[in-house]
Amino acid sequence: MPTSEKSIIRRIRQLSGKRGVASVPLGIGDDTAILRVPFGHEVLVTTDFSLEGVHFRREWHPPESVGHRCLTRGLSDIAAMGGQPLAAFLSLALPVKLPPRWVDGFLRGLLGLAHQHGITLAGGDTAQSPGSNSNTKILADIVVVGYAPRGKAVRRSGAKAGDSIYVTGKLGASAFALESLFAQPKKRLNPEKYPAHFYPQPRLAVGKYLRERGIATSMIDLSDGLSTDLHHLCEESRVGAEVAAEMIPRAHGATLEQALHGGEDYELLFTASANRKVPRSIAGVGVTRIGEIASGPARVSLLEGLRRRELPPGGWEHFKSPQRSS
């Protein structure tokens, strides 16, 4: 039975649970939502697409994982600013013949993560995907609204020469899982064995800790890969960087190339003054120093033993990279 727009909205309202919380006096059901940001704070807004055939495949990813990953993309951006998420808005374009159980699974995954972080799904939109054949794709756009104290959000542009470079967690796990999927495209992986790929966790508590204590001079989330995101940070800060290969924390089974370029780790990359003490673990997440910010142009170098080489951005980039279909 085809999914109808009214049934989707009804399911979203049912699964969303409570309405009219203090921070969101009015959510789903009216023309617009009403949000209430604490006095003395600024609004943070981020938006991310999740596109079938680019960010996920139905034959590989359970719908709960797709929904979870969709919201993680937005929450990770808020985490990278040291912000607190407030509400999310979901727009879905769906094929006419998509089974209702897939939509329910997607919503369970997305709303489960939202409830975990106390976020309200405050609105959005639904539409029919363009096209009429069996290749019609699912398109999901998530908007996450958050907040941070006025003038205190951590930006990409604050790194200075001499600052140390840190990452949270371990890198390359998602790329390792994706390579396994491509190696055996007809075999489904057990999500419990690859949680970093199927159910990545946004580092909201870590980002907030770094912002509240004034530790991070700059920060970015690792969605496109360490090599690419470090270049983004260097470009905004107008500095260079040097990282040591042996210091990069790798997930079990991941190669150095996967840790450098894989992407979708949703860990945090941040810088801190060299004389600032940074905990080895924050909110139960490991923190590792991997290098140092250098003066000069936005060039990144990789040290491998005694050998130094330039590290170009080799992660994900739309319109240049072939579709990764993850």
- The pLDDT tens digits for 58-101 are 999 999 999 999 999 999 999 999 999 999 999 999 998 899 89
Are residues 248 and 137 both part of a single domain?
no
Backbone angles phi, psi at 290, to 5 degrees: -120, -5
Res. 2: pLDDT tops 50:
no
Res. 27: pLDDT tops 50:
yes
Are residues 29 and 91 both part of a single domain?
yes
Are residues 62 and 171 both part of a single domain?
no
Cα separation, 236 vs 219, whole angstroms = 11
Are residues 110 and 186 both part of a single domain?
no
Last residue of some domain: 105, 120, 149? 149
Angle (CA) 243-244-247 rounded to 5° is 115
Cα separation, 302 vs 247, whole angstroms = 11
What pLDDT is recorded for position 19?
60
Are residues 109 and 12 both part of a single domain?
yes
Cα separation, 225 vs 314, whole angstroms = 8
Cα separation, 315 vs 223, whole angstroms = 9
65 or 16: which carries more pLDDT confidence?
65
Domain count, the chain: 2
The CATH number of whichever domain residue 138 belongs to comes to 3.30.1330.10
34-52 pLDDT per residue, tens: 999 999 999 999 999 999 9
186-226 pLDDT per residue, tens: 888 999 999 999 999 999 999 999 999 999 999 999 999 99
219-262 pLDDT per residue, tens: 999 999 999 999 999 999 999 999 999 999 999 999 999 999 99
16: helix, coil or strand? helix
Domain that holds residue 242: 156-310
Q: Is residue 317 part of a domain?
A: no
Residue with tokens 């407030």: 86
